[in-house]
Amino acid sequence: MYRRLWRAISTLIVFGLLFVTPARAADPEIDKLLRSPVGKDWVTNGGNLTNNRYSTLKQIDTTNVGKLKGAWMTRLKGSGVGGKYSLEASPLVKDGIMYVVTGNDDVFAMNAKTGEMIWEYWSGIEQNISTVCCGWVNRGLAMGDGLIYLGQLDANVVALDMKTGKVAWKTPIEKWQNGYGVTSAPLYYDGMIYSGITGGEFGVRGRLTALDAKTGEIKWRWFTLPAPGEKGSETWPAGTDHSMRGGAAIWNTPAVDPELGLLYFAVGNCGPDYDGSMREGDNLFCTSMVALKAKTGEYAWHFQQVHHDIWDYDAASPVVLFDTVIDGQPRKGIAEAGRTGWVYILDRTNGKPLIGINEKPVPQEPRQKTAATQPIPVGDPVVPQCAEKIPGYDEAGCLYTPFWESPVLIQPSGIGGTNWSPMPYSPDTGYLYVPGTVRTSAFVRNSSQYTTGQRYTGGGQAAPIGSPMTGTFTAIDAKTNKIAWQTKTPYRVGGGGGSTVTAGGLVLRGEPDGNFLALDAKTGQELFRFQTGFGADAPPVVYEVDGEEFIAIAAGGNSMQGSAYGDAIWTFSLKGQLGPLWAPPAPATVAGPTGPIAAGVDAVKIGANNTEYSFAPARTRIKAGTTVSFTNVGDIPHDSTSLVQTDGWSTGVLTKGETKTVKFDKPGTYYYICSPHPWMYGQVIVE
């Protein structure tokens, strides 16, 4: 009797649980679009769940792309205009409405056919966030369940009503004061929102956060840095808590394979970036590609691109999923373009190399606890792997040359290879399209003490004065990892931007000089060029409204590239009537300060004239014995530090409004940088 009663109660309990907690229904329409090839709508950052940025639209193709003109151009009301901001987001388009976010985390909805504004969301974000690494930027949005989602620099994830722009929910996933933020576009999938987090230069503990898409409730977190006893903890020094502040941020939008139930993403650099002396071991999961079970966050596999990274070679660009045939066998691939200049191509079912990747011995520096070997892919790198000797530097090295307290030249630099830029894949050509930066840096290590919310890099790097800064754009054959074709660019193109590929045989991309380009996907031949008037450093998107195909790109500049800032959304079509704008000032192609020399000026302002990452004047001439004042008038902390270590001068970190002075007694030419933002250059000529 009791057994029958217990069986009945158990049945009721199970039935009750099934009845009161059904699986939460996702957005069926968005879910279908995410799983399908990209057509008339562009509903997620990478086009669909693969991140392959491939559009099946082909009304615009290689035969008629030269007839494109501007269909409309809309300005985003001054949002994110200024030297501290970058405009790098891909717009989203659904049912004839376009949604785009700026570097100030402001969101705009527009008529995708006319550019007419429908609604605006102004973030009201604090302008004195001091833990921003590399410029104010937001790389895109997600959509689902009738909401638009974004991450903000203040480490909030926000959901907006698609029809009105009103805030539906806002969830903090950390505190920006502790070094955290969000710059990546989130991913909507199966009723969840997935978001990475920034802060690799501030001693954070990286993580992926999964939130309920309707409510904003945090469902689970997966930490990219293992706690003691967790998988990967054996790759950190035993008996220490170094991994708890080891960086490993996630800068990119994940991808998903619904059939495998796996979610994929790339993980950034370790902290402190340049000092490996106190973190002996491979330091998982820094600089790795990772797969988790999408529903639970349970670990599936990983592949580390750089063991014990001391060069800031973080894996920052989005992973790309693709299907291919190798040796007559169908294979499921995943690829990521690293800052090493290599593309890493794996089997996405298990994380094993799809094409060869061999562990090879590399140069050693025992004080840096360097790894004995590094994984070197079979195939071709997209940028040079060794630096050329430059006067004034004792050593010129290659990709894995270590360093200590004397500057060592290395190429690709930590801002080389591909950095944040998405890489599309075309099933028609079988090519991956990779933007690259070619830049030599002088690397140096120094001691760094951890303080919550303060920079924690353990050294730095900067391009030597007068050294060239150029780029490459490369088609890589995904079956061989070898170059199919490559073009050299006069500017760096790996620090933003990216491209999109279409069934019309086109590769679409912008350049920091303001030009929007269309190339033949098979050959790389340039077919179309249009001047947008602002730095075109965002990935384009392709969509259709009322049977007409459009191409859209955000043009507003990039703070690290130094390209011309603005707030424009350009769209193009075969029926367009708008012509190009005047070309803006071109970004620098040689490292060093620019502009006229100001005679007799003994006061330098940092962050003046709405250009956060600059010195004003950048070049000044004074007499020996003059004391020069450096005042931070920008929104975030800066310093002024000599590029020549034997000079030994630095203002130290200056908060907003703070001033420090330096006296220059000896004649000569003194170059300096802002060490947290080493793309800022200044010059003092002492007579």
Which residues are catalytic, by number? 312
8 Å CB contact between 683 and 618:
yes
Which of 251, 84, 127, 80 shows the shortest CA–CA distance to 680?
84
8 Å CB contact between 53 and 500:
yes
DSSP 584: P
DSSP 573: E
3 state SS for 323-352: EEEECCEEEEEEEEECCCCCEEEEECCCCC
Q: Which residues neighbour 461 within 8 Å (Cβ) at sequence distance 6 or greater?
A: 274, 312, 413, 414, 415, 441, 442, 443, 444, 678
DSSP strand pairing (626-632 vs 603-606)? parallel
Distance CA 365, CA 354 (A): 31
Edge to edge, what strands does the sheet with 459-462 contain?
Answer: 408-410, 441-445, 459-462
Dihedral over alpha carbons 316, 413, 279, 291 (to 10 degrees): 20
Whether the bond between 402 and the residue before it is cis, its omega within 30 degrees of 0, is no
Tokens 């940092």, residue located: 606
677 is in an annotated binding site: yes
DSSP 170: E
270 is in an annotated binding site: no
Q: Which residues neighbour 78 within 8 Å (Cβ) at sequence distance 6 or greater?
A: 567
Distance CA 193, CA 148 (A): 11
8 Å CB contact between 54 and 427:
yes
674 is in an annotated binding site: yes
Annotated binding site for Cu cation: 638, 674, 677
Annotated binding site: 638, 674, 677
